[in-house]
Amino acid sequence: MDLFKQHIRSTISVSDADLDQILPAFNVIEIEEGESLIKENTFCNQYYFLEKGLLRFIYHAKDIEETSWVIFEGIFFTEIMSMKSKRRTTMSLEALEPSVVLSIDESRLDELCEKVKSFEKYLRLTWEENLYHVIQMKLMQQFSSARERYEILRKDQKLMQRIPQKYLASILGITPYTLSRLKSQQKA
């Protein structure tokens, strides 16, 4: 939980006493590469923090499976569509590497926020940051060419080095062949 504690402290001012209430409220889950944290067609009532590893959100529609995004260490997240609608998920979440995830259910998180007001601020700031990245990605997908999207993501070495090409292509909204072509043109 070291990364989680560090992330909280870098986001908000929090006392040791507050941290002593926050940290034990979370459960530690270890998942292996290829294992699912969230399965499609289930209900999600958990919030998560990725302490170690790499996860990918997979969107399922008809017979198509697309990687919609990846979660790196230090991100607080959930499958928000299921959480807020109280409906079954249309996404799953799979480990691309052995991963350590902290989890807390929605009702326990609500109780924690009532007891530790500073943690509520942490959540707000975290969700604002997540929303910023989602909107940035949506605008990029809508208004940028495949080449421009690739050039933007190419600057993020975490993405380029850790994510398999087929998933990176899916995030960019292009085929693996197109991604390969863009990479080779960039080298020339």
Cα–Cα distances (Å) from 38 to 52, 95, 107, in that order, read 17, 10, 18
Q: Of the candidates 27, 163, 41, which has an alpha carbon nearest to the alpha carbon of residue 103?
A: 27
CB 31 within 8 A of CB 92: no
Q: What is the mean pLDDT of the chain?
A: 90
For tokens 């699912």, name the residue. 36
Rounded Cα distance between 116 and 95, Å, is 31
Say whether pLDDT at 187 is over 80: no
Stretch among 35-49, 68-82, 144-158 having the lowest mean pLDDT: 144-158
pTM of the predicted model as reported, rounded to 2 decimal places: 0.87
pLDDT at 188: 58
Whole-Å CA distances, 188 to 19, 42, 181, 184, 185: 52, 46, 11, 6, 5
